Amino acid sequence: MPKGNIINRDRFLENIRAKIGGIASDKPVEKPTWSVTPQRNVLEGYDQDQLITVLKDQCDNIHTDFFQTNVNELSATIESIMNQYQSKTVVYSEDKRFEETNISDFLAQLDSFKWDRLDRESSIKFAERAEIGITFSDITLAESGTVVLLNDKGQGRSVSLLPANYIAIIPKSTIVKRMTQATDYIHQKVENDENIASCINFITGPSNSADIEMNLVVGVHGPIRAAYIVVDDI
Amino acid sequence: MKVSFFITCLGDMFYVNAGKAAVELLERLGCEVDFPRAQTCCGQPAYNSGYRKETIEVAKHLIETFEHAEYVVGISGSCVYMIHEYTQLFEEGSDWQKRAIALKDKTYELTQFIVDVIGVDDVGASYQGVATYHTSCHMTRLLGVKEAPFRLLQNVKGLELVDLPNRHDCCGFGGTFSIKMSDISEQMVDEKVAHIEGTKAHLLLGADGSCLMNIGGRLSRNGSPVEVKHIAEILNSRGDV
Amino acid sequence: MPMHIGEKDFKKRVTKGIEDDFMRGAVRSAQGRLQDKRATAADELGDWEDWRTLGSEIRSHTIEHLDYYLNQLSEKVAELGGHVFFAETGEEANEYIQKIAKEKEAKKIAKSKSMVTEEISMNEALEEIGCEVIETDLGEYILQIDDHDPPSHIVAPALHKNKEQIRDVFNEKLGYLKTEKPEELALFAREKLREEFLSADLGITGCNFAVAESGSFALVTNEGNARMVSALPKTQITVMGMERIVPGWEELDVVVSLLTRAAVGQKLTSYITALTGPKQLEEADGPEEFHLVIVDNGRSKILGTEFQEALHCIRCAACINVCPVYRHVGGHAYGSIYPGPIGAVLSPLLSDYDEYKELPYASSLCGACTEVCPVKIPLHEQLIMHRRKMVEDEKRTTLSERVAMRGFEQLMNSASLYRTATKMAPFMSTPFARKQMITKGPGPLKHWTHARDFPKPENERFRDWFKNREKRGEQDAKR
């Protein structure tokens, strides 16, 4: 993609510089060493199984159904959730893990659609009519009960957004303590001059709002129900 | 221990009993109390209204007045905090700032002094009754004295202390705020009074004369039977239980 | 909506607020819930003060090097193919946004919640050129439907309305026929707005935090509307106040963690969406074209002054949620889209003292705001600073107040004058006193005695008692 335009920058930054007494310089600003780093102490020393317990408990706070299973039972678990949510039509992301776990075979038998990175119209249209969206989690944050989706290429932003129900499949190995570990990972990519996904979603349960008298309503623009499935051995 | 007593301007005129009780209490705890007669006001009304120049003059006067003291003990958390704020008034590293820091380091609110400096939690007081306690904002949040009054009150024989709901809320005094924004201040004190009356306590205690004057004034206007006393009066009380 | 809202006269706005029982009931219960949730979330962490310290350090550093980080941000966005427009004023920002809307022949614009776009009256500017702008945050949507009722809170804009009022508005304007249950109201809005998202030509978002190192933008929501706005329309414009930026992802983690806890007591909100440039070639959804508008609109006036810390604000509204003044008068009384303590600090800075001279005085300086601020802005001290400015630089206070303060200084500075005055006080006040209470005070005291009695000064001052006691030798007997 060609470089974008930058308009009015010099005058704008010159004004700021004059106010804060800075000087224009090509030298990068060094970040100070912060005096405290409490984010690094959260859940310190927890192993993967303890983190799963934290994640499970947090699911109660975020109105999310929690399941734990193994690869062999994964399709059956998805099927039972779909029954519970009375969902028949499925949209799922383009993600080789669907093939690796053979869920793609199971989904192929249903009224399903794999997100098509080259077909905007059909993909959005199907996602809009699908009753359930399924994605894998790329990084999972135990503390907050958050699945992080690095949405680029075939992953599709709409898969986890437009359908009324949403399932996130969480490989056990993706579980980390908190957002700190996810942002460390992303920061490292930036440091290494690698591309990061154009849309990184930190999703914590179904959508909700408290705009009416501070009463929590679950399900506003995004999904109304959400389920997490932790898979033991991928 | 030698204590120079800081009565505050409101205390000098309106809360004489609180001052008397505090002096007697300190003496009972073994302090030698003197009263520097040149003392006036801490300057907070000017400071909070943005009159810094005027505040500085008042602060200098108080610094001079208490310079000789070993400890300065005041009966209002808010005014004591104001003295601590003097250090911000003067130029960094100036002689006046050094003197302000010296004063800050030896100036305490009464309950803070008893608990933290004298090291006493039980002053041997007794008082029969049900009371609730108003945590004043400046003393709690800015001076940082949160526990001391409760530790002392819990050891008063015969006193039943009931929790005041929403105790973290301001009573609406705020110095000139109560005059300049009197309609808002009225709503705030009304809410505070409703919470106090809801506790069924017949006595309201506090460690700041100005808040007590505000809340007490509203209780009085409402014809409420709730009595208002400064914490020193209860801590100095040795009634039969 | 411009920054200034409602009636011009401050006193009238306050009276209107105080007399609005519906609003006050709604605000009281909302404040109660939000205070509890924030406190619980902070306690759970265990080292909340360390978090605040870190938040404060990050914000200080960023604002001290704002030129550097904005430059870095703009470079990164441009590298990714996005366009960046630096706008010194709201008008400049609006002209640019209008230009993009015209180029794209945009008829319908879906917008997620953004305070800065309210501040610069962006919606009105777009409506002028014939665009339909749809607010998609549920609270903002309710207000927009209700003939553009102004927001009264920066996180929960419709906090002043109860569910019955919302039901009636939906009924009157949109033919809604169901009950006042929040679930039913929200479902109705979901269906209405879903159509709008799918047919919008242009999406406009605000920005919670920009990340300089990668040219990314974090949008913090619970509803998912910002995701919709950034996934479906083919063109996206993000509008940010120039201070809403952090150096890198490490800092984003910290400020987001502080924001969601301080604002709503959540560990994270349902959606934190981090957008980096327009969509890439092999992506089906997301905007094909991305524009960033960085807005100054008075912010640079604050840089380098004693108010610089006000720019550290992360817009969590924790100060608003604990403020007792806000509770009694409501958000509209502030006359600004930025209400509460941070609004009282910020509004006179972004605008001027002519418009907002009363706000710095609309605080009892109780310090509750300063105590909860997750990035340690000394809010109540900034209010005192405003008062000082109005005294010293602007000479805005009344002559009588200045004379009184001069008198105060002289009185308190002179031990003998003070002694005389306090000695006279009981006699001076006798005519106004009934028993030991003054019920109708003279001069400024009449404001006090409107609702409260004022104690009559004691005949024997403390200093007299102490002196007499010394004379009688009582204290020796005690020891």
Res B223: pLDDT:
93
Please tell me the number of Cα atoms within 13 Å of A6 on its side-chain side: 17
Which residues of chain C does B175 touch, with a Cβ-Cβ cutoff of 8 Å? 364-365
The region of weakest confidence among A19-33, B223-237, C137-151, C422-436 is C422-436
- Helix H or strand E segment including C290: strand C289-295
**C358 vs C146: CA distance, rounded Å:** 29
Which of the residues in chain C have pLDDT under 70? 1, 428-435, 474-479
Q: Does A181 touch chain C (CB under 8 A)?
A: no
Q: How far is CA C311 from CA C114, C216, C346, in A?
A: 17, 20, 9
Q: What are phi and psi of C212, to 5 degrees?
A: -65, -45
Structure confidence at residue A158 (pLDDT):
96
Q: Could you tell me how many helices (H) and strands (E) chain A has, helices first?
A: 7, 13
Q: Is A42 on the interface with C (CB under 8 A)?
A: yes
Q: Shortest CB distance from C447 goes to which of B27, B40, B182?
A: B182
Q: How many angstroms separate the Cα of C169 from the Cα of each of A218, C146, C162, C165, C172?
A: 22, 6, 11, 6, 5
CA distance C205 to C207: 7
Task: Give the contacts of C427 (CB within 8 A, at least 6 positions apart).
Answer: none
The verdict on whether residue C323 carries a ligand-binding annotation is yes
- Residue A164 near chain C (CB below 8 Å): no
Assess contact for C192 and C223: CB atoms under 8 A.
no
Report residue A124's pLDDT band, with 50, 70 and 90 as the boundaries. very high
Chain B residue closest to C327 (CA)? Answer: B188
pLDDT reported for residue C419 = 85
What are the angstrom distances between the C-alpha of C446 and each of B174, B183, C102, C432, C442?
16, 12, 59, 11, 6
The tokens of C347 are what?
A: 């509004």
C136 CB within 8 Å of a chain A CB: yes
* pTM (two decimals): 0.95
Chain C residues with CB under 8 Å of A119 CB are: 284
ipTM of the prediction: 0.97
CA–CA dist B39, C415 (Å, integer): 7
Q: Which of residues 82-141 of A touch C (CB under 8 A)?
A: 115-120, 123-124, 128, 141
Interface test with C, best of A26, A187, A209 (most C CBs within 10 A): A209
Check: CB of residue C173 under 8 Å from CB of residue C345.
no
> Do chains A and B meet with 3 or more Cβ pairs nearer than 8 Å?
no
CA angle (B132 as vertex; B198, C458 as ends), nearest 5: 110
Q: Do A157 and C230 touch (CB under 8 A)?
A: yes
pLDDT tens digits, one per residue of A35-89: 999 999 999 999 999 999 999 999 999 999 999 999 999 999 999 999 999 999 9
Q: Do B50 and C14 touch (CB under 8 A)?
A: no
Is position C373 annotated in a ligand binding site? Answer: yes
Q: Enumerate the domain spans of chain B.
A: 2-116, 121-235
Q: Average pLDDT, stretch B95-102?
A: 98
Q: Which residue has the tokens 């499949």?
A: A169
Q: A213 vs C26: CB contact, 8 Å cut-off?
A: yes
Q: Where are the domains of chain C?
A: 55-301, 399-478
Topology annotation, domain C55-301: Rossmann fold (3.40.50)
In the CATH scheme, what is the code of domain B121-235? 3.40.50
User: What is the pLDDT at residue C434?
Assistant: 58
Question: What one-letter code names the amino acid at C178?
Answer: K
Asked if residue C94 lies in contact with residue C217, where contact means CB atoms within 8 angstroms, the answer is: no
Which CATH class, in words, describes the domain spanning A38-231?
alpha beta
* Chains contacting A (3 or more CB pairs within 8 Å): C
B48 vs C365: CB contact, 8 Å cut-off?
yes
Inter-chain touch C463–B172, beta carbons under 8 Å: no
- Asked if the Cβ–Cβ distance from A124 to C250 is below 8 Å, we say no
Whether residue C366 is annotated as binding a ligand: the answer is yes
Q: Chain A 202-221, CB below 8 Å of chain C: which residues?
A: 202-215, 217, 219-221
pLDDT at B240: 76
What angle, 0 to 180 degrees and rounded to 10, lies between the N-to-C axes of helices C249-264 and C48-64?
120
Average pLDDT, chain B: 96
**Substitution target from A93, A220, A225, A228 for chain C, most C beta carbons within 10 A:** A220
DSSP secondary structure of C7-65: -S-HHHHHHHHHH-HHHHHHHHHHHHHHHHHHHHHHHHHS-HHHHHHHHHHHHHHHHHT
